[in-house]
């Protein structure tokens, strides 16, 4: 074998089955005797349910059962729980209105499930749903946070007067006010962060099953099966954990949208218990648009106080965050602890104050989507920095350098709770500018101008926080779960290794990267390592995959479990080699007595552990199988610099990203091929947010972008080749020195693209543009009688 350990671009182990069409996604699974569920959903944003008549549907061909909210109420089943509690400025807990599995009394967003029809075939269920009659009394609805906060606005939940979920703050307001009072200058920017639909390519699906003894299995498109088991079993359906198995097999992308516990999962499991038949549901894409948690949707004002030289003195931010109609699993944490705590960014702003009001509207719930809070913070900061440059005349790059946290200042305590362990923002900036040939830009701009195109360049220097931690801190901040990770390393008798991880791979390639970590540490070839995830019956426990936590937290648990394997292996080797344990070294897959040529291979030790004929049986159990729980000491802090270069067609307003460079500090790189792929994908999503994507609602809450025909996803011809580089500082507090790479692309890129567009339009007096920068928006600016460009 060639080198397969940490740092090798090993080809993926999982690709074989995917390329052959042999993946095993939830909708590929069929269980004997299964029935199909179809949901009749609200087509109204906000209405009282006056009457539901399911009689015709119930007697339609093939129909097995029809359920409404009343059936859940009759069964004493409450609603879907929220996993994070935020407290308002005044100390009061957030408004936490019930979220029933099927609507009870009212519908609160288009897509709210009202009736479930179960039939022998998918088509029969769908046909029968057409026969359901629902009488609604329409109520006024709201889609935007600004409308929902207006006096007299329709109230989504009686439990949340004025539609406020919480009114939260962080930072030292008095210190910030004082700094503003003494500032040489204040620069202010109003901005929005556009609402997005995650749109993993695999629509959500779930199959519930219950055997005669009351043991349940749920197959679901989840990023965290143990979390679903905990939430659904303990808080919704009251099924004890030992009688509920949750399987998340191959999952076709998540990006956050498959973290949460959804109503459909609860329904198929509950109905399977009633019917004692498997119940299968697969979303159609139009259902995804109205039932998968959306992302972003902030309206903010940001103000920076500056001294005469452009040093940042204080930052003040006020944000309205749309929660949608119900609180999704982690929604309250996103605009608070994943957003406002990131407002220092890469800058040494000494004091920061942020207030965040979370608001209910008649829209699909909003929760974490790739980056979750951090893209919103980054967009705000990096747009604000460019606006400061615009207003003060200080060069955008020089302004950033002037305010960077220097590389020798780590660990660095920010004024908004986080303590960064490592980073070097000057290095990533310099590397990105070089790779993007920043100095050659004026010539490229001139060449573009000669062809009638406006060319602009923009940068963002960003930072993010991955792997929420430690559990005790998260708990103090309102998390209702732990945030550790679990690994079980089972060395098989012949020396091959099976890793059971509580993280979940839905595109990230853990079967390969986790095997590489094993190869590095135990000297076992990647081909001899199997990585198992996504099944609560096989894996001890775990919190799943989100927030770029898998390698930082799950990888650390894996290392910790392997440390135990090595420690036990040394004791077995000491016995076999008749040496003291202290003299045994483990290196390159061999246990040796230090300073001698006496050694035993890893395979020999494994076999001895399971065939303990010559074994220290009095002091050591047989077997070689260890489990570790790892609770991180801190977040990890990836950061870097993204450079976007755009060309704008003056006739059409079409923006093309012509060059994109990302230089990221993600800590130690396990597999550079996979790292680049993660950045490519994140950047494409960021370009999608910047140029194309907008979850559209009319003012009353009706969805106007309900399919791929009117929600613009980035396609192959919308994105450029993406140059990816890494300049790493190592994480100081986890054993692998890793930071995480899943979200950096989507965090750094949107402001880089918008900064480039604003740069291209500088002669048109543009200071700021909200996303998406559609061709229509740009065309309108170009048509608005802009001054002739003197530079031409």
Partner 1 sequence: MPQVTLTVNGKRHTVAVEGRTLLVEVLREKLGLTGTHIGCDTSQCGACVVHVNGDSVKSCTMLALQAEGAEVTTIEGLAKPDGTLHPMQEMFREHHALQCGYCTPGMVMSAIDLVAKHPEGLTEREIREGLDGNLCRCTGYHNIVKAVAAAWPLMHAKPMPAAAE
Q: What's the token pair of residue 509?
A: 């390639």
Residue 719 touching partner 1 (CB under 8 A): yes
For residues 279 and 727, give the distance between their C-alpha atoms in angstroms, rounded to a whole number.
Answer: 49
Q: Give alpha helix (H) positions in 149-210.
A: 173-181
**Residue among 642, 641, 638 at smallest CA distance from 667:** 638
**Region of 7-15, 78-86, 209-217, 638-646 interacting with partner 1 (CB under 8 A):** 7-15
454 strand-pairing partners: 648
Reference 730, options 271, 421, 279; nearest CA is 421
H or E, element range at 383: helix 374-392
Contact 685, 715 (CB under 8 A): no
Contacting partner 1 (CB under 8 A), which of 85, 88, 169, 286? Answer: 286
The residue (of 427 and 718) whose beta carbon lies closer to partner 1 is: 718
DSSP string covering 211-260: -TTS-EEEEE--S-HHHHIIIIIIIII---GGGEEEE--B----TTTTTS
CB atoms within 10 A of CB 48: 13
Residue of 5, 7, 18, 140 interacting with partner 1 (CB under 8 A): 18
Q: How far is the CB of 168 from partner 1 (least distance, A)?
A: 32
Nearer to partner 1, 310 or 706 (CB): 706
Contact string 305-334 vs partner 1 (x = CB under 8 A): ------------------------------
Which position among 45, 278, 677, 740 is part of the footprint of partner 1 (CB under 8 A)? 677
Q: Is 253 in the site for partner 1 (CB under 8 A)?
A: yes
By CB under 8 A, residue 2 contacts partner 1: no
Shortest Cβ 248–partner 1 spacing (Å): 12
Does the footprint of partner 1 cover residue 681 (CB under 8 A)?
Answer: yes
What is the closest distance, in whole angstroms, from the C-beta atom of residue 678 to partner 1 in the complex?
8
Q: What is the DSSP string of 86-116?
A: -B-TTSPBPP----BSS--SEE-STT-EEEE
Say how far apart CA 282 and CA 26 lie, in whole Å: 8
Least separation in angstroms between residue 517's CB and partner 1 is 18
Q: Which residue has the tokens 């009251």?
A: 238
Q: Which is nearer to partner 1, 225 or 507 (CB)?
A: 507
Q: How far is the CB of 24 from partner 1 (least distance, A)?
A: 8
Is position 506 an interface residue for partner 1 (rule: CB under 8 A)? yes
**CA–CA separation, 633 vs 243, rounded Å?**
33
Q: How many residues bind partner 1 (CB under 8 A)?
A: 55
Nearer to partner 1, 81 or 198 (CB): 198
Instruction: Tell me which stretch binds partner 1 (CB under 8 A): 150-158, 427-435, 683-691, 765-773.
Output: 683-691
**Closest by CA position to 160, among listed 242, 86, 237, 212:** 86
Minimum Å gap between C-beta 520 and partner 1 is: 20
Choose one: 210-218, 485-493, 507-515, 772-780; the region binding partner 1 (CB under 8 A).
507-515
Q: Which of 100, 509, 554, 569 binds partner 1 (CB under 8 A)?
A: 509
Least CB distance to partner 1 at residue 481 (A): 25
Would you call the peptide bond into 470 cis, given omega within 30 degrees of 0 as the criterion? yes
The verdict on 21 binding partner 1 (CB under 8 A) reads yes
Nearest-approach distance from CB 532 to partner 1, in angstroms: 17
**Is 23 among the residues that bind partner 1 (CB under 8 A)?**
yes
270 close to 101: Cβ distance less than 8 angstroms: yes
Q: Which x/- pattern, by CB under 8 A, does the window 687-716 give for partner 1?
A: --------------------xxx---xxxx
161 is an interface residue for partner 1 by CB under 8 A: no
Should residue 19 be labelled a site residue for partner 1 when binding is judged by CB under 8 A?
A: yes
What is the rounded distance in angstroms from the CA atom of residue 257 to the CA atom of residue 294? 7
Q: Do the strands 312-324 and 351-360 form a parallel or antiparallel pair, or are they unpaired?
A: parallel
Label each residue of 274-314 as H, E or C: HHCCCEEEECCHHHHHHHCCEECCEEEEEEEEECCCCCEEE
Instruction: Using the rule CB under 8 A, give the single segment among 353-361, 385-393, 671-679, 754-762 that binds partner 1.
Output: 671-679
Decide if residue 15 touches partner 1 (CB under 8 A): yes
Per CB under 8 A, 284 contacts partner 1? yes
| Interactions with partner 1, residue window 198-237 (CB under 8 A) | 199-203
How far is the C-alpha of 518 from the C-alpha of 602, rounded, in Å? 12
Least separation in angstroms between CB 317 and partner 1: 30
Torsion angle defined by CA atoms of residues 256, 261, 265 and 267, in that order, rounded to the nearest 10 degrees: -140
* Smallest distance from partner 1 to CB 718, Å: 9
Q: Which is nearer to partner 1, 9 or 58 (CB)?
A: 9
Rounded Cα distance, 566 and 559, in Å = 10
Q: Is 571 exposed, middle or buried (0-12, 13-18, 19+ CB in 10 A)?
A: middle
Chosen residue from 365, 639, 682, 700 binding partner 1 by CB under 8 A: 682
Q: For residue 4, how many other CB atoms are within 10 A of its CB? A: 21
Q: Is 111 in the site for partner 1 (CB under 8 A)?
A: no
Measured between alpha carbons, how far is 497 from 489 in angstroms, rounded to an integer? 7
The stretch among 75-83, 231-239, 279-287, 558-566 that binds partner 1 (CB under 8 A) is 279-287
Stretch that binds partner 1, among 149-157, 549-557, 615-623, 672-680 (CB under 8 A): 672-680
Tokens at 648, concatenated: 């704008």
Residues forming contacts to partner 1 in the complex (CB under 8 A) are 11-12, 14-23, 25, 27-28, 123, 199-203, 250-253, 255, 284-286, 506-509, 673-674, 676-677, 680-685, 707-709, 713-717, 719, 721-722, 745
């Amino acid at each position: 074998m060639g080198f397969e350990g940490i740092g090798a671009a090993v080809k993926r182990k999982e690709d074989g089955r995917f390329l052959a069409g042999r993946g095993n996604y939830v909708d590929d699974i069929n269980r004997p005797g299964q029935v199909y569920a179809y949901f009749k959903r609200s087509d109204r944003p906000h209405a009282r349910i006056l009457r539901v008549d399911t009689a015709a549907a119930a007697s339609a061909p093939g129909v097995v059962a029809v359920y409404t909210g009343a059936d859940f109420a009759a069964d004493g089943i409450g609603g879907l729980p929220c996993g994070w509690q935020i407290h308002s400025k005044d100390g009061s807990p957030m408004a936490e209105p019930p979220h029933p599995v099927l609507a009870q009394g009212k519908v609160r967003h288009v897509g709210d499930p009202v009736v479930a029809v179960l039939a022998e075939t998918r088509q029969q269920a769908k046909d029968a749903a057409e026969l359901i009659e629902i009488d609604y009394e329409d109520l006024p609805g709201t889609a935007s946070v600004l409308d929902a906060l207006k006096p007299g606005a329709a109230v989504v939940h009686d439990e949340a007067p004025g539609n406020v979920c919480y009114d939260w703050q962080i930072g030292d307001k008095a210190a910030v006010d004082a700094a503003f009072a003494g500032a040489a200058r204040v620069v202010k920017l109003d901005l929005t962060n556009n609402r997005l639909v995650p749109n993993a390519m695999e629509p959500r699906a779930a199959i519930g099953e219950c055997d005669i003894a009351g043991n349940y299995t749920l197959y679901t498109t989840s990023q965290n099966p143990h979390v679903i088991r905990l939430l659904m079993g303990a808080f919704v359906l009251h099924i004890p954990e030992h009688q509920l198995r949750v399987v998340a097999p191959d999952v076709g992308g998540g990006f956050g949208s498959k973290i949460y516990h959804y109503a459909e999962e609860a329904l198929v499991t509950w109905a399977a218990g009633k019917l004692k038949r498997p119940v299968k549901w697969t979303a159609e894409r139009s259902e995804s648009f109205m039932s998968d948690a959306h992302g972003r949707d902030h309206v903010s004002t940001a103000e920076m106080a500056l001294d005469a030289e452009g040093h940042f003195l204080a930052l003040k931010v006020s944000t309205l965050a749309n929660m949608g109609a119900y609180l999704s699993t982690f929604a309250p944490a996103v605009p608070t602890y994943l957003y406002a705590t990131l407002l220092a960014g890469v800058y040494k702003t000494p004091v920061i104050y942020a207030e965040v009001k979370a608001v209910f509207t008649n829209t699909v719930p909003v929760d974490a989507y790739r980056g979750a809070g951090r893209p919103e913070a980054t967009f705000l900061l990096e747009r604000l920095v460019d606006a400061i440059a615009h207003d003060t005349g200080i060069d955008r790059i020089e302004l950033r350098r002037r305010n960077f946290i220097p590389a020798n200042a780590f660990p660095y305590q920010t004024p908004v709770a986080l303590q960064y362990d490592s980073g070097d923002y000057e290095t990533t900036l310099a590397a990105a500018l070089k790779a993007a040939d920043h100095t050659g830009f004026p010539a490229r701009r001139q060449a573009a101008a000669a062809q009638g195109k406006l060319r602009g360049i923009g940068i963002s220097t960003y930072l993010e926080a991955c792997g929420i931690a430690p559990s005790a801190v998260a708990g103090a901040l309102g998390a209702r779960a732990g945030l550790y990770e679990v690994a079980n390393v089972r060395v098989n008798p012949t020396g091959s290794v099976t890793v059971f991880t509580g993280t979940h791979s839905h595109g990230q390639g853990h079967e390969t990267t986790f095997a590489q970590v094993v190869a590095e540490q135990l000297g076992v070839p990647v081909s001899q390592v199997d990585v198992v995830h996504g099944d609560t019956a096989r894996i001890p426990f775990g919190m799943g995959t989100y927030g770029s936590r898998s390698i930082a937290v799950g990888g650390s648990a894996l290392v910790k479990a392997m440390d135990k394997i090595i420690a036990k292996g040394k004791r077995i080797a000491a016995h076999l080699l008749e040496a003291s344990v202290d003299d045994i070294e483990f290196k390159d897959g061999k246990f040796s007595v230090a300073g001698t040529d006496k050694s035993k291979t890893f395979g020999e030790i494994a076999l001895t552990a399971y065939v303990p004929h010559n074994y220290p049986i009095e002091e050591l159990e047989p077997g070689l199988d260890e489990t570790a729980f790892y609770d991180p000491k801190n977040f990890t802090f990836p950061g870097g610099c993204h450079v976007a270069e755009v060309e704008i067609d003056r006739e059409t307003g079409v923006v093309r990203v012509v060059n994109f460079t990302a230089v990221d500090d993600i800590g130690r790189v396990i597999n550079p091929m996979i790292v680049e792929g993660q950045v490519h994908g994140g950047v494409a999503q960021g370009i999608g947010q910047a140029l194309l994507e907008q979850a559209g609602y009319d003012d009353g809450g009706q969805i106007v972008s309900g399919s791929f025909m009117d929600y613009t996803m980035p396609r192959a011809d919308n994105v450029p080749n993406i140059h990816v580089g890494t300049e790493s500082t190592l994480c100081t507090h986890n054993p692998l020195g890793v930071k995480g790479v899943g979200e950096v692309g989507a965090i750094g890129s949107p402001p880089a693209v918008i900064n480039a567009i604003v740069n291209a339009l500088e002669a048109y007096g543009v200071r700021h543009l909200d996303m998406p920068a559609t061709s229509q928006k740009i065309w309108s600016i170009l048509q608005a009688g802009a001054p002739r460009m003197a530079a031409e």
